[in-house]
Each structure stands twice: as C-alpha cells, then as structure tokens.
C-alpha cells in the first residue's frame, strides 16, 4: 500500500489550479489583449518538448543511467507504439499494441 | 456546466451528449489506463482519487506521476503540467468569443470542463459565436452536454482503474501504459518539422541533463528546445515548404 502525504496532495491541488488556469487562460480578463509574439510562437513548441522530456528518459534510462543494452522491452514497445500511432492516428490503439509488445517481452523474457 | 438547470434542460444539452457518445469508449479506456497507471506508479489510492476528481487532465496527470514519485520539487511538477497543458491556452483563445458574455465563474467552469475532444467537437459544429441570446444559450447547452458525458466517461473509468490496480501486481509494469499514452499524444503533436525538432532536442537534452538535481532536466530540456526552435525560426523565416 502506498502512503499518502500532504506534499503530494498540495501538488495535486496545484495541478488542478493549472488545469483551470490553462483551460480558461483567455477567459479571465474581459479586456482584449495579446501575448507577446515570441510567447505565441513558443506555444507551438513547448507542449511537445515537455512530453518528450518526460517520455524519452522513461524509455531509454534505468536507475539514472542510459541503458547499455537494446534488449529492453520499453524500446520495442515504444517503437511499436510510435509506428502504430503514425499508421492509425489512434492513441488508444497505440497503448494497446505497445503493451501487446511490452508485456510478453517484459514478463516472458524478463527484458 | 452540466449542473445548471437552464443548461441541462435545454435540448442542445442532449445533442452535445449524443455527439460525444461515439468517443466515450475511447475516453473511458484512456481514463481506465490512467487510473491503473497512477496507482501502479506508486501513488496512494487516496491521492489517485483526489487527482482524478480535481486535476481532470490526462496528459498532465500522466506527466506529473513520474515526477511526483521521484520527489521533484512542486514548481518543477507544476511547470511541467503547465507546459503539457499549453494547448488548452490556445483552445481558450479560440473559445473566448463564444463565452465572454457569461460571468467570470461560469467562464472558468466551462474552461475547466472543456478538454480536447469537447473543444474539437464544439468548434467543428459552431464556426461562429451565437449572435442572439437564444443562439448563445444553445451553444452553451451543447458545450455543457458534450463536456458532461466526456467528464463522466473519464471520471468513472479512472475510478474503476484505481480500483482494479490493486488487484494487478506492480511487477507487470502496467504503469508503462501511461508512458505509451504520452508517446501517442507526443506523436499527435508532431505535425511540423519544427515540432519534430523540438521533440528530438528536448528528448536528448532531458537524457543528457538527467543528473541535474530536482528533475530540473525536464525544465532545462523544454527551455533548450523552445529557445533553439525560436532561433531556427528566426534564421530561416519561411519554414516547411514556404520558399518565399
């Protein structure tokens, strides 16, 4: 059983505030206003960068080190997932087929 | 907002629910998986339920989980969540003229409840904000109905996933489904060469800077990727086929 702590609950409350802040960002002020140009262009690139920064280390690192073998279930599952996405444009199918590659390699072969 | 009688009694509300219903199983499956991933990554059941009921944003939840488990500082987690959610900032700019006639708390309520699919369906159906009060009311009811079924599918499935997670051993590695989900969203955002560059740079930077304390490699990677892309844009002002 995992423990609950106040710090995590505070972070969760903060993330809820981030949801309201981002989804309602331009609803807050009734005055017409504009983002500076650099920020507007930066909006194009930040979301994919944030996802990549979270996802890539979760696939290619283990215990804080770059993995030294290609025999890792995560690499194959991620490749299968990416190929699935670009063929089907379906996130759900990406998860399903990625896990269909991951589980046998991870549980069966111990990769 | 689905709890306001003048919205749920309006016929547009049912229409909004009907339009989102084909998407409902997919939303539910994603919610189910997020519920499992939260618990299997090391959050307590109480934390996972609190997160489901308050945060209501799958990608930022999934991105926050590994950071929470690693004990990253709160500001790094919130900054990451904010960046992952930046697409909603763009949505809110688009939806602004449809909702500005409402009082602030109702605008914030609609904003909070309008996630990706509802935004797409709403703006596909209504190309222009309503002109008359009746049109505006109809659009608002449609949005509320659409949001309601989306919210319900997500919340119920997430709670079921949290319940199921306790029956599945952690060693199976089902938490990896959360990473695959983020990967799918990441691929869906890779719509231009510059965005692919941003993704590649951020991925490499996050690995190279992994040894930084406090998970600062995430913030570092986002900053490097965005600054590099803005610099490349400036050096090459007409990208992706725009041979001026």
For the stretch B10-20, pLDDT in tens is 999 999 999 88
- 10 Å CB burial of residue B122 (0-12, 13-18, 19+) is buried
Nearest Cα residue in chain B from A52: B203
A 36-95: CB under 8 A from B: 38, 41-61, 64, 66, 73-74, 77-78, 81-82, 85-86, 89-92, 94-95
Q: Tell me if B182 and A92 make a contact (CB, 8 A cut-off).
A: no
State how far the Cα of B57 lies from the Cα of B116, in Å rounded to an integer.
9
pLDDT at B214: 66
Does A67 have pLDDT greater than 80?
yes
pLDDT at B237: 64
Does B192 have pLDDT greater than 50?
yes
Tell me the average pLDDT of chain B. 87
DSSP string, A26-76: GGS-SS-----HHHHHHHHHHHHHHHHHHHHHHHHEETTEE-S-S--HHHH
| pLDDT tens per residue, range A2-26 | 677 899 999 999 999 999 999 999 8
Chain B residues in contact with A12 (beta carbon < 8 A)? 47, 50-51, 54-55
B60 lies within 8 A of chain A by CB: yes
ipTM value greater than 0.90: no
| pLDDT tens per residue, range B114-137 | 988 888 788 878 888 889 999 999
pLDDT at B242: 42
pTM of the model: 0.74
A56-83 average pLDDT score: 93
């Amino acid at each position: 059983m995992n423990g609950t702590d106040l710090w995590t609950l505070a972070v969760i409350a903060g993330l809820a505030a981030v949801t309201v802040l981002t989804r309602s960002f331009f609803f807050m002020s009734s005055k017409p206003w504009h983002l500076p140009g650099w920020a507007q262009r930066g909006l194009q690139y930040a979301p994919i960068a944030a996802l990549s920064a979270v996802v890539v280390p979760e696939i290619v690192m283990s215990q804080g080190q770059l993995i030294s073998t290609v025999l890792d279930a995560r690499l194959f599952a991620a490749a299968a997932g990416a190929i699935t996405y670009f063929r089907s444009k379906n996130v759900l199918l990406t998860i399903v087929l990625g896990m269909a590659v991951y589980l046998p390699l991870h549980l069966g072969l111990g990769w | 907002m689905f709890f306001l009688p003048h919205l749920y009694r309006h016929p547009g509300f049912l229409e909004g629910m009907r339009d989102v219903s084909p998407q409902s199983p997919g939303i539910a499956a994603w919610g189910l998986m997020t519920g499992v991933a939260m618990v299997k990554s090391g959050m307590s059941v109480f934390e996972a339920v609190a997160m489901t009921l308050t945060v209501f944003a799958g990608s930022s939840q999934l991105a926050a989980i590994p950071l929470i488990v690693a004990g990253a500082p709160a500001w790094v987690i919130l900054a990451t969540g904010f960046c992952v959610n930046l697409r909603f900032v763009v949505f809110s700019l688009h939806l602004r003229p449809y909702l500005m006639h409402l009082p602030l708390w109702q605008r914030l309520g609609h904003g909070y409840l309008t996630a990706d699919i509802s935004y797409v369906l709403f703006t596909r159906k209504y190309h222009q904000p309503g002109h008359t009060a009746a049109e505006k009311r109809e659009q608002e009811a449609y949005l509320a109905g659409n949001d309601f079924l989306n919210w319900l599918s997500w919340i119920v499935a997430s709670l079921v996933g949290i319940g199921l997670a306790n029956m599945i051993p952690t060693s199976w590695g089902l938490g990896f489904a959360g990473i695959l989900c983020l990967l799918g969203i990441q691929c869906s955002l890779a719509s231009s060469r510059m965005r692919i560059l941003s993704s590649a740079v951020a991925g490499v930077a996050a690995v190279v800077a992994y040894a930084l304390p406090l998970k600062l490699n995430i913030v570092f990677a986002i900053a490097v990727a965005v600054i590099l892309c803005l610099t490349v844009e400036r050096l090459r002002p007409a990208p992706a086929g725009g041979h001026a």
